[in-house]
A and B are shown apart, each in its own frame.
Chain A
Amino acid sequence: MELSLAEAVPLWRTLRDEGVTALITPALDYVGGLELGTKDVRFESGEVIAQLGESLRNLISSLDDRCSLLFVYRVTDDVEDVIREYESVCASGESSALRVYVAARAEWLRKQRLRRIRVFLFFSLAGVSISALGRGALGGKLVFGNADAIAQERHQAELKCLAQLRDRIVGRFAQIGLTARELSPEDFWRIHYQLLNPTRARQRLVAPEVAVRDDIWSEGAFRALGEHVREYSEAEQLCHESLEDERGRFRQGDRFRRVMTLKVLPGRATDYFASEPLLSLSLDHGGVREPVPYTLAVAVHVARQGSARWALNVKHRLVDALRRALPCPPERRGGRDVGSRVVDFMCQA
């Protein structure tokens, strides 16, 4: 038995309608995408950094319940397309001296080890998603929602809500001073293709133009003849390289993959942009720092505030009651009363 990679990719269809680009997942989440401009805070003053950090916090806190954000920070060492764009822009120069200068500069740039940073933001509302469980687990088979149960009006309403969320996020980023460009369906396909096919991406192969065709065979024919007569889905058209699931890592060809999830914030104080060292990872070869391509993904999910607070309070009360019920020697209390520690804990929460 062979497991299909396309079955584990949360991508059903990508479309542009009602002036918004939407990726629809098998769980019927409508997801939009933005490419964000970058800002280097290393040379900013402390006040500017604090202001920027608070602005980002306000952006998160202004989101609706059950809204999800996924920041994808991609670092690549492939800048060939940028150099080609530079050459094409300057190729129309009439001055021969300029053309020679541009050619020499492009040749010099190609010899350098450069890093290119792109930041993407994917966002979605709760929508008509089947359930949190229906979104599946990493590497597990995804369950497709019943799209026929969604009326055309509901589909249009979902697109409208997604467009409103996009405009709100773009506006907030503009206030912070960050540019945001909406991704097109082709951008979605390109990002998926590069992430799912690292060897082909390294060979600079162009992502396919995805076109989904209607099946001409019935379900009975698929069962009788086999799945190979079925037309390719969108995810299948983007999956070309197999993934080996090894202990502690994934392997795609000669590339190893690991996933890092930042789940729990430190219990005490955290500096603004404390994760900045993660954004400038590099390899040290004899004192020379060389860029290393990597992808860092940070997911933010806004829980339903009412139920989350209720669950948290119940959990704390239960832990408090169990702690009181259990005998605990004074030396293990750290010299403080358990009740006061619990009160402190609740105040922090």
Chain B
Amino acid sequence: MAPAPVYRHLDAKNRLLGLSLGQAFAIGAVAFLALTALSPIGAAIVSGTAYAVIRLALRGRPDGFVRHWTWWTARRVLGDGRLSGHARCPTPRFPYAPCIERDVPPRRDAHGTLSR
């Protein structure tokens, strides 16, 4: 049976020196900032260090690691990693879905004559 033709995914990895395009841009931004503030040698050292840090920190990590790690850390800090089924959340009303409405009679001013 002939294999199915495969079209390359739009998000296929385009590696540049082992970096994805976004990471390469980040290195470029670091290099630009370093060049504006430091000497060329210092900027080269800073850029090389940034490259090494990114390569080592993301080695073997899946795509979207930084984004998911950030969310995970936020959940650990805010709620100790617990998504509670009993905690309440403010949900606005959707106007076109059925909703049970309950009429509450207006409160009558009894001037303290009604028993509590």
Contacts and interface: CB of A to CB of B under 8 A. Distances in A.
Nearest to A137: B71
Given A230-B90, A241-B85, A263 B71 contact: no
B94 A263 contact: no
A11 to B, nearest CB: 10
B97 A348 contact: no
B97 A2 contact: no
B104 interface: yes
Given A12-B94, A228-B88, A267 B12 contact: yes
Interface in B97-114: 97-102, 104
A88 B115 CA distance: 57
Nearest to A271: B3
Nearest to A16: B98
A294 interface: no
Given A268-B6, A315-B21, A2 B71 contact: no
Nearest to B97: A13
> Per DSSP, are chain B's interface residues mostly helix, strand or loop, or mixed?
loop
B83 A243 contact: yes
Contacts of B97: 13-15, 24, 212
B71 A138 contact: yes
Interface in A244-264: 244-247, 263-264
Contact of B63 (A14, A234, A245, A263): A263
B: contact size bracket: 35 or more
Interface of A: 1-8, 12-15, 17, 24, 46, 49-50, 53-54, 57, 137-140, 144, 147-148, 150, 152, 155, 196-197, 211-216, 222, 227-228, 230, 233-236, 239-247, 263-272, 303, 308, 311-312, 315-316, 318-319, 322-323, 326, 345, 348-349
A215 B92 CA distance: 10
B78 interface: yes
B93 to A, nearest CB: 7
Nearest to B96: A155
Given A137-B67, A242-B83, A349-B7, A46 B1 contact: yes
B28 to A, nearest CB: 10
Interface in B1-48: 1-14, 16-17, 21, 24
B85 A270 contact: no
Contact of A214 (B1, B2, B101): B101
B87 interface: yes
20 contacts: A2-B79, A3-B78, A49-B1, A57-B4, A137-B68, A147-B95, A152-B96, A214-B100, A215-B93, A235-B89, A240-B86, A242-B84, A243-B82, A243-B83, A268-B6, A271-B3, A311-B10, A315-B21, A345-B8, A349-B8
Given A8-B83, A24-B97, A236-B91, 18 more contacts: A4-B89, A12-B91, A17-B96, A24-B94, A46-B1, A137-B67, A139-B75, A139-B83, A147-B95, A150-B96, A213-B101, A222-B90, A234-B91, A240-B85, A269-B4, A271-B3, A316-B14, A322-B24
